[in-house]
Amino acid sequence: MSATMESALKARMARQEGWNRPPHVEPEGEGELLELSMGPHHPSTHGVFRMDVSLDGERVIRLKPVFGYLHRNHEKIAEGTSYLASMPYTDRLDYFCSLTNNWAYALAVEKLAGQEVPERAEYLRVILAELTRIQNHASTIGFLLQEMGASGTPLMYAFREREKIMDLFESLTGSRLMCNYMRFGGCRVDASAAWLDQAHKVVATIPEFIDEFERFLRSNEILMARTQGMGVIKPELAVNAGLSGPMLRCTGVGYDIRKVDSYGIYDRFQFRVPVGDHGDIYDRYMVRMLEMRESVSILNQALKDIPGGPVMDPKAKIRNFRPKPGEAYGRIEAPKGELGFYLISDGGPNPYRYRVRPPSLINLTILEDMCLGHNVADVVLIFGSVDIVLGEVDR
Amino acid sequence: MKTVEEIKAAIEAAVPGAGVEVVTNPGPAAEHSLRIGQKHAVKVAEFLRDDSELALDFLSNLTAVDWPDKEITEKVKVTREVQKPVEGGEPGQVQTVTETVEETRKRVEPGYLETVYHLYSIAKKHGPVVLRMRTGNRTDDVSMPSFTSVWRSAEFQEREAFDLYGIVYTGHPDLRRILMWDEFKDHPMRKDYVEPDDYEYEPTAHDHVLERAKQHLSMEQPVAGGAE
């Protein structure tokens, strides 16, 4: 063992006490611990992610996540190029929800440059973000069931719905996953009346799908046995550890940035913020299910009220875009949690500092706290319920 | 919510000698920030979290910024006394005259690393309050206190700032590289970071990659048939 590894191991074993530190779990009985490297190619890790675990039989005594397999220094690349050139690259952060990434970045730059967004573009942004939320939550639940051993079927039910939404994205933006649709001061192209009609039709079928999905799952014995009381988070720790999105709301903290900041035009819509009670995996699943229903309600309101008009601010500058010196932090409620962009401008064509606040990475902060003392099979479930995408964790 | 000046006064009342300064943001966002000194930083953080009126319980974003040494060229008006020959006088006769000239002066403003914190309150639903903290310089005095014990969400984000910028957070329970591998030497997000010349391997290298590859290969292979 090299000296660096040895010192790293020593640092890893050093424990700090405190209410917001992982609990100390002692092995039962005697014998050696099994050091296991789960990942980076384990099928349950949703990409390339590794967990170094120490096992006492089946029980997890220590768990350290290892990141960086997909690291390409997104921030450095963005600092070396113009503001607009980073827009298609934000699609690759959380590749399930490229449109919400676009929105968060556009929002931060608009705040930095003090730009206005036309009414119709705001409505289109809300419609696309809520469609993104529905397909993300449906797929997450599908993947969770997959990891529970329901091989294929629930995931395919979810993907069937996702496919309809992807078709909508494709016909509007030209791409199913890497949409690259939003611009500083509006959106790239306008939606036709036919597209809005089609969106109406798709949204009308979603409640039926949610009912069907819930009928199969809500009181499913295996789902309840494996998720209730598993991976519990306390609300104080959830707030202290910076969790956001369904991970925070499952503990009973009703904090939704759509309500708190009411960025865009979210103050015009009637919707509720579902919260959990126990902070376990079942509550996370249920919060996502209920959020899909609220998204449908927002979509119905937005599709009904969408006004005519331009989708781009006529004063918006595309070429030679140089915001005044200053800084801004823009954040939105992405499907996975709080997605923020922190930008510093020195008056040049490139951002001086470009930072992504990734919800997936920060939601993993308390992975160890949740998993200690549980069996390996449950680690897979707890990890799956966090809902991460490695493109955003590693950047 | 309180303004930055009111928050500054509240901090100074609670933690004497905290050394808080208001940093104005000239941009349209106008989110002004508070720069705090390192000495009482953890106490200030605990006050901000536990104060019943501020209740900033949520550290949303923690990130670092690199400010390298800056050479500033400025024009200064200098008044000085010069000896000038007297007009119409006898040769060799001089008089002392004061005149004002413009001089170009250069000075180097030392660089530093900075950590920026965006705090929100979930209990009171307000924010953001932006905090900043500086290191002494960019080379040997690069440490600052860790906030992991105050807000757990700092744990991975401080590791990231350590990895990419080289800021050492004292008191962090597990300060290791997080995104780069353990054996990696430099801090890639710094403004003066230079990529190694063999960084990009291309089977059919061209343009600047080819130039770099050539340089690299000439260092690797000193003599042809070196075994003899």
pLDDT in tens, A270-300: 999 999 998 899 999 999 999 999 999 999 9
A326 touches chain B (CB under 8 A): yes
Alpha helices (H) in chain B, listed in sequence order: 4-14, 41-50, 154-165, 207-220
* CB A365 within 8 Å of CB A233: no
Highest mean pLDDT among A63-77, A309-323, B24-38: A63-77
- Contact residues, B window 133-192, toward A, CB-based 8 Å cutoff: 149, 151-153, 155-157, 164, 173-183, 188-189
Least confident residue range of A40-44, A122-126, B5-9: A40-44
Selecting from B25, B152, B174 the residue whose C-beta is nearest the C-beta of A12 gives: B174
- Give the model's pLDDT for residue A127: 93
Mutation choice for A interface testing from B56, B153, B172 by most A CBs within 10 A: B153
Closest Cα to residue B3, out of B42, B11, B151, A257?
B11
pLDDT for the residue B228: 43
Task: Tell me if A189 sits within 8 A of A170, measured CB to CB.
Answer: no
Whether the ω angle into residue B128 lies within 30 degrees of 0, i.e. cis, is yes
Which of A22 and A200 is assigned the larger pLDDT?
A200
- Shortest CB distance from B60 goes to which of A15, A338, A394? A338
CB–CB contact A112 B28 (8 Å): yes
Q: Which of A14, A345, A395 sits opposite B27 (nearest CB)?
A: A345
Residue A87 has pLDDT above 60, yes or no: yes
pLDDT at position B224 over 70: no
Mean pLDDT of B150-164: 91
Backbone phi and psi for residue A94, each to the nearest 5 degrees, phi listed first = -110, 95
**Is it the case that residue B225 has pLDDT exceeding 70?**
no
Structure tokens belonging to residue A129: 């973000």
- The more confidently predicted of residues A267 and A8 is A267
What's the pTM value of the predicted model, to 2 decimals? 0.86
At B41, list the tokens.
């930083």
Which 276-315 residues of chain A touch chain B by CB within 8 A? none
Contacts of A353 in chain B (CB under 8 A): 63, 65
**What is the residue extent of each domain of chain A?**
74-394
For domain A74-394, the CATH superfamily is Cytochrome-c3 Hydrogenase, chain B (1.10.645.10)
Res A118: pLDDT: 92
Tens of pLDDT, residue by residue over A368-387, are 888 888 898 899 899 989 88
Three-class secondary structure of residue B195 per DSSP: coil
In terms of pLDDT, which residue wins out, A187 or A7?
A187
Contact B152 A323 (CB under 8 A): no
Range ranked top by mean pLDDT from A30-39, B65-74, B143-152: B143-152
Per the CB < 8 A criterion, the answer to whether A394 and A68 are in contact is yes
Q: Which residue of A has its CA nearest to B33?
A: A327
Environment class of A124 (CB within 10 Å of its CB; exposed 0-12, middle 13-18, buried 19+): buried
Nearest to A167 by CA among A186, A195, A134: A195
Q: What percent of chain A has pLDDT over 70?
A: 96
Scan for tokens 């040895």, then name that residue: A6
Contact A332, A257 (CB under 8 A): yes
What residue segments make up the domains of chain B, in order of their start?
A: 4-68+111-170, 70-108
pLDDT digits (tens, 9 = 90+) for A57-75: 888 888 889 988 889 889 9
Residue A6's pLDDT is 54
Question: How would residue A133 be classed by pLDDT, with cut points 50, 70 and 90?
Answer: very high
Nearest to B39 by CA among B131, B111, B133, B103: B133
CATH code for residues B4-68+111-170: 3.30.460.80
Whether residue A9 is predicted with pLDDT greater than 70 in this model: the reply is: no
ipTM of the complex: 0.86
Between CA B137 and CA B135 the distance in angstroms is 6
DSSP characters over B22-78: EE---STT---EEE--STTHHHHHHHHHH-TTT---EEEEEEEEEE--EEEEEEEEE
Backbone angles phi, psi at A22, to 5 degrees: -60, 145
Instruction: Return the number of CB contacts < 8 Å for A and B.
Output: 127
The residue with greater pLDDT, A61 or B210, is A61
Pure H helices in B78-197: 154-165
**Are A67 and B157 a contacting pair at CB < 8 A?**
no
Contact A239 B28 (CB under 8 A): no
Q: Which residues lie across from B67 on neighbouring strands?
A: B112
Closest Cα in chain A to B24:
A326
pLDDT digits (tens, 9 = 90+) for B167-182: 999 988 888 889 988 8
Q: How far is A106 from chain B (nearest CA, A)?
A: 14
B60 to A340: CB separation less than 8 angstroms, yes or no? yes
| Closest-CA distance of chain B to residue A257, Å | 10
- pLDDT grade, residue B197 (50/70/90)? low
3-state SS class at A71: coil
Between CA B110 and CA B81 the distance in angstroms is: 33
Task: Enumerate residues 53 to 112 of chain B having a beta carbon within 8 A of any beta carbon in chain A.
Answer: 57-61, 63, 65
Closest residue on chain A to B119 (Cα): A242
- What distance in Å separates the CA atoms of residue A345 and residue A322, rounded to the nearest whole number? 8
Report cis status (omega within 30 of 0) of the bond before A40. Answer: yes
Cβ atoms < 10 Å from Cβ of A360: 24
Mean pLDDT of chain A: 88
